[in-house]
Chains A and B, each alone.
Chain A
């Protein structure tokens, strides 16, 4: 056991190192959600209120996307200790990401506790999670989803141990499942389903009524706070704007299909009215096809191995997992069915199948952020796969076993090295545009010059500029709230302002009055004859932002 713990220590060190090294510098800049999380945490720390003036909210309006609160509150200790900076904003993600690696070790040990190879499986799963491109990506940036993964792992682990030992961990599990409701949008769907699955799977091992009442009592308290959020239309906005059930578009498509049938023949029209019927075909079949396609796309090798999803969510030229993972995951599923499937560990495949559900209902599927909760099941199945393949080869053909190890090890090291190369050298260069590089530089420049100008106008083409200027100037939240705070986090809202800054679109040639304005915006906001004071470039050399001044009469 000492050796196992020593190995776990090494894996944990690798996990922590990979998550903390250059944190705040790679990726090169904070994108808007990260900045919003950071400033809200800063504001809560200073005033107890968010940027809108809401007192200790349990749902942050933020950029009008109503963020769950757990990440903001977990950022506060880091900001309190080390101040507001890129490192401290990302720190909770890195800390919870590292913690997930340790928790996975214990989760796998618990799930396979009746198998002699439980330690080996647990170590392999922890190692795979420690170096997982998917998990690393979101452990090194402020994404609430990463925190929710750790909360979910902890909730399932404490449930399993708690129910076996009948101790306080069972109640801790209720608390963690409850916290899951406040960690990330998709987790709000997945964790209750996981809990229901666990209750059904362990229905024969459930503790006495008194303990159960205590468990559900704790969980209910969280639901009492969560229900008003779930029922509030404002808070549902994230689902409303991202849902993929295109009812109106499908209706007009159905009408188009029936019109086409009418052109073909009378009998085509008659059958077409049935098969393209908007009630039967559109609300159900078309949407079902879309949702199932979205769902299954999360298991597609194209997404997992080849190209991932949006550029912000993975290293350039890399998918979400290593290519060898995919082979081991498939074989791991096979070995699970053959060797391990028991009522007590069926939660593992259920977790795998439930995790992509919320993301399937939304557009941009497959979506690695909305489905990150699928981790760590992929790594656990990969561990099952590789362990059993090697074990089988060792028993059957020792030469093949040695050959497999000597082939796999270099492939493993090469793939991991290639990932690190892509992540550390390519991300900043190729994706500085996606990570919204240049805002810090613009803020530093405008801060140094603002005293000479009447106003600083920042174009909305700068993408949510108010939150970047609040964050990088570290504008005192108390003062900001006394000036009215944020009016709206909407993309096109022109009412936000503080100090000399106004965040609204401008037409350069119309700013010829008496006022002296410093102007910030993307190149399209400035005509060729504009007086430009500074050009900020992305790391690939293309223009990011221009800072200029108006031409006065």
Chain B
């Protein structure tokens, strides 16, 4: 009962973060369609629930799944994308809903190894088409450069430049305080859930091939997976018995809360002002 209640609370928090003042923050452009923003917010809320089930599909326990869902609900990039019309946000819902069903079926058949070997070929199709179609735009050095931008600490923790005129540039994709938990989650998944990490790596390559990089924001598709990795990292850290580590983890959690508060203050107070000067430059539905 308690876990379900917690999940509901997380979803309520996610809904609040995505729906509160949605008509005015960020400010509207002449192309804004409020119903589409709400649609995107609904996708963000649904993704919070999806992340919970996705984590469970990776055989993580309920507590870890809840933590992953909470991490997704407060992810700076997810909040930003959940409050504007974002096609990549809607794609994420479709992709991960499909993933849950596929995983449920495939893991039962116990043929993970085969799937892992097939994934590269499946994922290679779209970047392959892009590469053939736009090869003049995409020399190998550009792809490498894109990859390097995607894994740079600057983009991950300090400055998200994937939506230049309308995005929240003063924050990175995720909070800096997530980093220790992310590392823990990655280390754990190297030794255990390789599929999770492989998916992140493939999405990384997939995004780097995009002809509209970085504005295509395809890397956003990996945010639910980052959330699971971080959620797992937090859960593992909670299990540590040593008092020193426990104190350290409590400090880090307090730091997450502090950064979260900073994000909310910046998003609702300063971001609308900074973005209002760029509204004429934002084309398409915002």
Which residue of the partner chain B has the closest CB to A326? Answer: B148
The interface bits of chain A over 290-305 (1 if a CB of B lies within 8 angstroms of the residue's CB, else 0) are 0011001101111001
Which of A261, A272, A293, A301 is B158 in contact with, Cβ under 8 Å? A293
CB distance from B10 to the nearest CB of A (A): 24
CA separation between A268 and B154, bound complex, in Å?
A: 28
- B9 interface residue per 8 A CB criterion: no
Query: Would A301 and B258 count as touching, CB distance under 8 A?
Result: no
- A9 interface residue per 8 A CB criterion: no
- A260 interface residue per 8 A CB criterion: yes
Taking CB atoms, residues of chain B closer than 8 Å to A285 are 258, 262
Query: Would A301 and B148 count as touching, CB distance under 8 A?
Result: yes
Query: Would B154 and A300 count as touching, CB distance under 8 A?
Result: yes
- A364 interface residue per 8 A CB criterion: no
Taking CB atoms, residues of chain B closer than 8 Å to A323 are 144
CB distance from A320 to the nearest CB of B (A): 13
Query: Would B261 and A275 count as touching, CB distance under 8 A?
Result: yes
- Known contacts A296-B153, A300-B153, A338-B191; is-contact A260 B270 (Cβ 8 Å): yes
Query: Would B148 and A264 count as touching, CB distance under 8 A?
Result: no
Query: Would A293 and B191 count as touching, CB distance under 8 A?
Result: no
Which residue of the partner chain B has the closest CB to A300? Answer: B152
The interface bits of chain B over 226-264 (1 if a CB of A lies within 8 angstroms of the residue's CB, else 0) are 000000000000000000000000000000001001100
Query: Would A334 and B190 count as touching, CB distance under 8 A?
Result: yes
Which of B149, B187, B191, B269 is A272 in contact with, Cβ under 8 Å? B269
Taking CB atoms, residues of chain A closer than 8 Å to B262 are 275, 285
Taking CB atoms, residues of chain A closer than 8 Å to B154 are 293, 296-297, 300, 302
Taking CB atoms, residues of chain A closer than 8 Å to B258 are 285
The interface bits of chain A over 232-269 (1 if a CB of B lies within 8 angstroms of the residue's CB, else 0) are 00000000000000000000000000001100100010
Query: Would B191 and A337 count as touching, CB distance under 8 A?
Result: yes
CA separation between A272 and B262, bound complex, in Å?
A: 10
CB distance from B180 to the nearest CB of A (A): 11
Query: Would B269 and A299 count as touching, CB distance under 8 A?
Result: no
Which residue of the partner chain B has the closest CB to A265? Answer: B269
Taking CB atoms, residues of chain B closer than 8 Å to A305 are 144, 148
- B265 interface residue per 8 A CB criterion: yes
Which residue of the partner chain B has the closest CB to A261? Answer: B269
Considering only residues 253-286 of chain B, those with a C-beta below 8 Å from chain A are: 258, 261-262, 265-266, 269-270, 273
Query: Would B190 and A297 count as touching, CB distance under 8 A?
Result: no
CA separation between A296 and B154, bound complex, in Å?
A: 8
How many residue pairs link A and B with beta carbons under 8 A? The number is 54
- A46 interface residue per 8 A CB criterion: no
Query: Would B152 and A301 count as touching, CB distance under 8 A?
Result: yes
Considering only residues 275-296 of chain A, those with a C-beta below 8 Å from chain B are: 275, 285, 288-289, 292-293, 296
Query: Would B158 and A268 count as touching, CB distance under 8 A?
Result: no
Which residue of the partner chain B has the closest CB to A284? Answer: B258
- B118 interface residue per 8 A CB criterion: no
Which of B151, B157, B273 is A293 in contact with, Cβ under 8 Å? B157
CB distance from B252 to the nearest CB of A (A): 12
Query: Would B176 and A289 count as touching, CB distance under 8 A?
Result: yes
Query: Would A271 and B269 count as touching, CB distance under 8 A?
Result: yes
CB distance from B3 to the nearest CB of A (A): 31
Query: Would A271 and B265 count as touching, CB distance under 8 A?
Result: yes
CB distance from B139 to the nearest CB of A (A): 14
Query: Would A292 and B261 count as touching, CB distance under 8 A?
Result: no
- A306 interface residue per 8 A CB criterion: yes
Query: Would A292 and B157 count as touching, CB distance under 8 A?
Result: yes
Taking CB atoms, residues of chain A closer than 8 Å to B152 are 300-302
- Known contacts A260-B270, A297-B154, A299-B153; is-contact A292 B190 (Cβ 8 Å): no
- B145 interface residue per 8 A CB criterion: yes
Considering only residues 302-332 of chain A, those with a C-beta below 8 Å from chain B are: 302, 305-306, 323
Query: Would B176 and A292 count as touching, CB distance under 8 A?
Result: yes
CA separation between A13 and B147, bound complex, in Å?
A: 36
Taking CB atoms, residues of chain B closer than 8 Å to A288 are 176
Taking CB atoms, residues of chain B closer than 8 Å to A271 are 265, 269
Query: Would A296 and B157 count as touching, CB distance under 8 A?
Result: yes
Please give 19 more A-B residue pairs, beta carbons under 8 A apart, in addition to A275-B261, A275-B262, A296-B157.
Answer: A261-B269, A268-B269, A271-B265, A275-B265, A293-B153, A293-B157, A293-B158, A297-B153, A299-B153, A300-B148, A300-B153, A301-B148, A301-B152, A302-B148, A302-B152, A302-B154, A305-B144, A306-B145, A323-B144
Residues in B lying within 8 Å of A, measured CB to CB: 144-145, 147-149, 151-154, 157-158, 176, 187, 190-191, 258, 261-262, 265-266, 269-270, 273
- What are 6 of the A-B contact pairs (CB < 8 Å)? A260-B270, A272-B269, A285-B262, A288-B176, A296-B153, A305-B148
Lowest 7 A-B CB distances belong to which pairs? A296-B153, A301-B148, A275-B265, A300-B152, A268-B269, A334-B190, A293-B158
